[in-house]
Structure 1
Amino acid sequence: MKRSGQITVFFSLVLMCIFSLMCGLLESARTAGSRYYLKMAADSAMDSLFSQYHKEVWDQYRLFFLEEKDEAELEEAWKDFMEPYLESSGWYSMEIENAEALQVYRMTDQGGKYLKQDILDYMKYGIFENLTDETGAENLLTQLKEAGTIKNLSGAYSGHTKEAVRLERAFQDISDSLRKQKELWQAAASELGSYNGPGFRRKAAELEQEMSRIPPLVKAYGKMADQLKTKWKESEAAMSQAQEELSQEVRDTLREETACYESYINEDGERRREIEALPEKMTQIKEIIERAKERSVEVEEIISEWDDDDEEDDGPDEDELWGSVEEIWQKIPIPVLPYSNGVKDPEKQKILEQVGGFVQSGLMKLVLPEGTEVSKGILDFTDFPSASRQEGQAEIGGLVERILFQEYCGSFLTDFLSEEDKEVKYELEYLIVGKNTDEENLKKAVGDILMIREGMNLIHILSDRQKRDEAKALANVITGSAGLLPLAGVVAFFIMSVWALGEAVIDVKMLLEGKKAAFVKTKETWNLSLTGLLELGSTGSCPEGGDDEKGMDYEGYLKLLLFIGNEEIHRYRLMDVIQMNICRKQQDFRMAHCVYQAEIKGTANARHMFFGGRDPYYRMEVRTEKAY
């Protein structure tokens, strides 16, 4: 019996279709699996790459940096980590063709944004406790702004006090000249009484010479008065603009204590009108003097001719002749100003002014503990990250973020009181100041702390009626009861400002000795009396202050300076410090090489398992991203 083969052929075709479908499904599944495997391998390779963070940076600063000099190095490193995964890919057979770094974010990019994020990530784990919240940070910033505003305003008004005192001295020079004129006028009159013509003319000439001093003295007085008025108006404008930065209590007290400046300037305007009339009076008086001198010569000629021609006569009536000269002389009205100089105890005033002089010329000598040697460290700015900083790149962070940043810096950087021995020791001070020597950074940082303390101390004085009364009592001693009455108030405000400065000097000295100084002063935490202030001004020696256990230490005040400073600049300077210290062990370390985040695109070639043809390979792309 003959059999047909149709079923076998049909069945073979069916099986071929089934196998093709199955192989297609398997290839599709394998291809999809290849893509997932490639993505897993890419992410794992990126994790492995970023696990190679800089160990020394982590040990010293608890920050994650991946050091790769350029994108090509980063790409090659990633490809190296991909190789083991591709070699073990099994039936996902593939090989990496190339890698391209799409985005690489380094620590120096975008105003140090990524350094900030690295620090905040570290700080958020609660390693630091008792940090203030947003409200507390806002209150602190408000207090610091108020202290700075008060310091600036008090500096301006204290300068007006010095200008007013110089104005009083210029007035005193004019008064002294008028007094001397009176004495010379009397001396000339005495010579007339003795019939001494040459002596009279000599004294008259001296009087004219003294009168010639009046115009330049009056001009100098007017110039000082104009400068005082102009600068006072500028300070008044600054006071008006600063109203919002002052609390209502401080604002009212400050306005009360500075109102005397306007009164002084207004009353000086009345005095000035009489002073400016003096040069014209001097011109008129000189004309009378010349007539008197000419008449004295005529009298001498009359007497001489009489002696030569009439030897037997009793002679001329000298009383009558010299009396005619005296009659002219008596017509000279030597002016008398109806005012007295307002500084009766200039010595105390000079002593108070010397306090500011000591601070400006020798602050470090006043506040440094005895026997302290200032570090001579020098920073080499070559290749420092801060040299590449561009303005306006950084995002402005919140106040709490600033607090976290300053706490981080206080924990990982050294300062004046740190015991760690380093070539460049004052790292916190460098963040604040940015000079290239430890000495300059320390001096400027200490000066900035002094300004904060001066402002806060003046706020306390303005709120303490007893201290204000003490200042006014001393001002009355300095000015006396004569002169322009508002001058006592002007000097009183100057005393308050100098008093706040003197107390600030003691505060800073305590801080540099490792003690604490109260941020907001009370009567109990105040150290300097007015007697001690005068001693400070006369001897230049700073009294000792009492430690306040509840106060703030030197590092705390440095943190305040960081808090109110430019956070972008501080971040770059922090990178300077990190680079400088790491370079001591690794000379080629640069923060510009440190990667915080990267995105890489890889291209892989995979082989078809069931389909070949002319091109058995196909390409796959993968993107992977990683950040610390």
Structure 2
Amino acid sequence: MSGNSIDTSARVSGRSLHKGTGGWSESSDDWYAKVLMQQYILTYMSCYTDTNPNHALNYEVEYIIGGRASDKDNLKIVIAEILALRAAANMAYLAGSASKQAQAMALAAIIGGITLTPEVIEGVEKGILAAWAFCESVLDLRALLDGDKIPLIKSDTSWTSSLYGMTSMLTGQVKAKSSNEGIGYKSYLGMLLFTKSMKNIAYRSMDVQEATVRMTGAHESFRMDNAICELSADVSYKYHGIFLCFVNLLDGADNEYTIKNKAKYSYYGR
């Protein structure tokens, strides 16, 4: 696990920034703009399964989601959020699986049968199903962190954990079955990014970009808000004609010509 961290006391997302005069519009939460930003982040920024030793943080995408100073803390946040997503999906599968519910009910009858109270047995059954969904979610997470893909919604064939083997599976190194039809860790990061505001995504992206630039020589004091991101220049100049003054083609003209030009330059960085 990465031990990298950044100084959050003066990061872009937390400090008072210099502002230009370009009159830029505020970022929006338009879904298409968010998708494009999400794809940029997932393509060029590092994460747990795709690290970059030349970046200040190894888990940049996790930082954009979590916003903590260290890779370790951001990974913990992402793991907890993915675990919650997988637990909900696995619980939905169990709710629709008659065979799995029958197994849970049989175990609940053994545990709570002594009370002979249907309500108690039903409550125990729900607790067993929740524990089973959690166990499968842990195995899913291990597979995702190992670079495997898992189905968004499980089936009887893709389900891995067994009801009576949960303890050994949780304490061991068992992981969920991989599936070519499933989605991987980066896809889950994309889901989590989509739940964040465009403002947070943009500013935290600048945090990690600034931190990485500061690692390079002679750029220790680099600040994103001191850099020109776009420059538009209007140039106007005049000149006098030399040859037309000898012929009377422009009667009454002062033989002075004005040329206007406009240039626009933008900074693009990876």
Please state which band the TM-score falls in when normalised by the shorter chain.
Answer: 0.7 to 0.9
User: Aligned to 2:204, which of 573, 578, 582?
Assistant: 573
Counterpart amino acid of residue 149 in structure 2: K
User: Aligned to 2:100, which of 464, 467, 487?
Assistant: 467
Aligned partners of 1:432 and 1:565 also within 8 Å: yes
Distance in 2 of aligned mates of 1:492 and 1:526: 19
Q: Per the alignment, in what secondary structure is the counterpart of residue 595 of structure 1?
A: coil
Alpha carbons of structure 1 residues 389 and 520: separation in structure 2 relative to 1, 3 Å = farther
User: Aligned to 1:518, which of 137, 151, 156?
Assistant: 151
Within 5 Å, give how 1:526-605 maps onto structure 2: 526-536=159-169, 540-585=171-216, 586-600=219-233
Aligned partners of 2:51 and 2:59 also within 8 Å: no
Alpha carbons of structure 1 residues 497 and 393: separation in structure 2 relative to 1, 3 Å = farther
| 1:287-323 Cα deviation digits (max 9, x unpaired) | xxxxxxxxxxxxxxxxxxxxxxxxxxxxxxxxxxxxx
Identify the residue that residue 476 of structure 1 maps to in structure 2: 109
- Say whether 1:429 aligns with 2:56: no
Counterpart amino acid of residue 162 in structure 2: S
Q: Per the alignment, in what secondary structure is the counterpart of residue 387 of structure 1?
A: coil
| 1:196-247 Cα deviation digits (max 9, x unpaired) | xxxxxxxxxxxxxxxxxxxxxxxxxxxxxxxxxxxxxxxxxxxxxxxxxxxx
- Say whether 1:410 aligns with 2:37: no
| 1:325-355 Cα deviation digits (max 9, x unpaired) | xxxxxxxxxxxxxxxxxxxxxxxxxxxxxxx
Aligned-pair CA distance for 1:497: 1.3
Identify the residue that residue 78 of structure 2 maps to in structure 1: 445
Distance in 1 of aligned mates of 2:140 and 2:128: 18
Aligned partners of 2:28 and 2:198 also within 8 Å: no
Q: Per the alignment, in what secondary structure is the counterpart of residue 626 of structure 1?
A: strand
Aligned-pair CA distance for 1:599: 4.1
Identify the residue that residue 626 of structure 1 maps to in structure 2: 264
Counterpart amino acid of residue 414 in structure 1: S
Aligned partners of 1:457 and 1:504 also within 8 Å: yes
Distance in 1 of aligned mates of 2:238 and 2:10: 42
Counterpart amino acid of residue 180 in structure 2: E
Counterpart amino acid of residue 6 in structure 2: L
Distance in 2 of aligned mates of 1:507 and 1:425: 22
Aligned-pair CA distance for 1:450: 0.8
User: Aligned to 2:124, which of 465, 474, 491?
Assistant: 491
Among all aligned residue pairs of Structure 1 and Structure 2, give the percentage whose two residues are the same amino acid. 24
Aligned-pair CA distance for 1:475: 1.3
Aligned-pair CA distance for 1:485: 2.0
| 1:247-280 Cα deviation digits (max 9, x unpaired) | xxxxxxxxxxxxxxxxxxxxxxxxxxxxxxxxxx
Distance in 1 of aligned mates of 2:63 and 2:110: 45
Q: Per the alignment, in what secondary structure is the counterpart of residue 514 of structure 1?
A: coil
Counterpart amino acid of residue 380 in structure 1: D
Aligned partners of 2:140 and 2:175 also within 8 Å: no
Greater displacement, 417-426 / 454-463: 417-426
Aligned-pair CA distance for 1:379: 0.7
Aligned-pair CA distance for 1:407: 2.3
TM-score, structure 1 as length reference:
0.36
Distance in 2 of aligned mates of 1:395 and 1:490: 45
Distance in 1 of aligned mates of 2:240 and 2:15: 48
Aligned-pair CA distance for 1:543: 2.9
Quote the RMSD (CA, aligned, Å).
2.9
Aligned-pair CA distance for 1:589: 2.8
- Show structure 2 runs of 5+ residues with no match: 18-24, 246-253
Alpha carbons of structure 1 residues 607 and 587: separation in structure 2 relative to 1, 3 Å = farther
Aligned partners of 1:532 and 1:543 also within 8 Å: no
Aligned-pair CA distance for 1:414: 1.1
Aligned partners of 1:475 and 1:495 also within 8 Å: yes
Distance in 1 of aligned mates of 2:143 and 2:85: 15
Identify the residue that residue 3 of structure 2 maps to in structure 1: 376
- How many residues were matched structurally? 244
Alpha carbons of structure 1 residues 426 and 621: separation in structure 2 relative to 1, 3 Å = same
Counterpart amino acid of residue 72 in structure 2: E
Within 5 Å, give how 1:102-501 maps onto structure 2: 374-388=1-15, 393-398=26-31, 400-422=32-54, 423-501=56-134
Distance in 2 of aligned mates of 1:425 and 1:574: 13
